[in-house]
Amino acid sequence: MRGFLGLGVLVVSLCCTPLLAREPVLLGVFPDRVLVEIDGQRLVLMMGADVTEGVRLLSPDTRTGTAWLEIQGERRQFASVRRTEGPPRADTTAQARVYPDASGALTVAGSINGHAVRFLVDTDAPITTLGAVEAQRLGIAYARGDLTQARTAAGLSFGYRVILDQVRIGGIVLEEVEAVVLQSDAPRLPVLGASFLSRVQVQRQGSALLLQR
């Protein structure tokens, strides 16, 4: 969901700092946020935000996949981990081909969090984008995400930043894909943008695209 977005994040902070039953597990590291799991609940921690569930993000490092967190006043460094439960992942040679439809748009069948969808592939879009109606159909609790401003072809809009647990196209399966859910019915098809495409190799073959891990 990508180049058409101008983003301004509204962070909602919690007023209290509960004691942790378990220490956080770092699941994903992004330039200005991290995905953590605390007591079985997945949370997005933003740079500059107040304490959430007793934890504050101090410094993410996407190069090393680590992050410094402040936990009840104590600074600690965590390394991201990968969960092994669930279906086996596609191997690193997995690929998918994307062909133009009758209108010339690059579309492909896939899934989000195990639910079948048809994607519009946009190599110029900076982030994967969904409409609110489609997100509701997929069971995505997008209103819990960070409110952001988005510029689309139809003008200025608002949406929520979320982390999709899993996105699949062909044999390619990626976890923890950043996305924006717009507060409208548009786009009609989920737009697959750079938050997915930057993590695979994209090669143009005539009018089609070849995606490879």
Q: Flag whether 49 is in a domain.
A: yes
Q: Is the pTM of this model over 0.75?
A: no
Distances (CA, A) of 28 to 12, 64, 68, 83, 162: 20, 11, 13, 11, 13
Count of domains forming the chain: 2
| 150 in Cβ contact with 182 (< 8 Å) | yes
Q: Flag whether 89 is in a domain.
A: no
**Which range of residues forms the domain containing residue 55?**
25-79
* Max Cα-Cα span within the chain: 58
CATH number (domain holding residue 107): 2.40.70.10
Q: Tell me: do 101 and 56 sit in the same domain.
A: no
Q: Tell me: do 72 and 111 sit in the same domain.
A: no
Q: Flag whether 187 is in a domain.
A: yes
Q: Tell me: do 72 and 167 sit in the same domain.
A: no
Q: Which residues contact 178 (CB under 8 A, 6 or more apart)?
A: 30, 127, 128, 161, 162, 163, 164, 195
Q: Tell me: do 74 and 119 sit in the same domain.
A: no
Local confidence pLDDT in tens for the 213 residues of the chain = 433 333 333 332 333 334 444 578 888 888 888 888 877 778 888 888 888 778 889 988 887 788 888 887 888 888 877 554 444 444 456 889 999 988 899 999 999 999 999 999 999 888 999 999 999 999 999 998 889 877 666 667 789 999 999 999 988 999 999 999 998 878 889 999 999 999 999 999 888 999 998
Q: Tell me: do 207 and 113 sit in the same domain.
A: yes
Q: Flag whether 16 is in a domain.
A: no
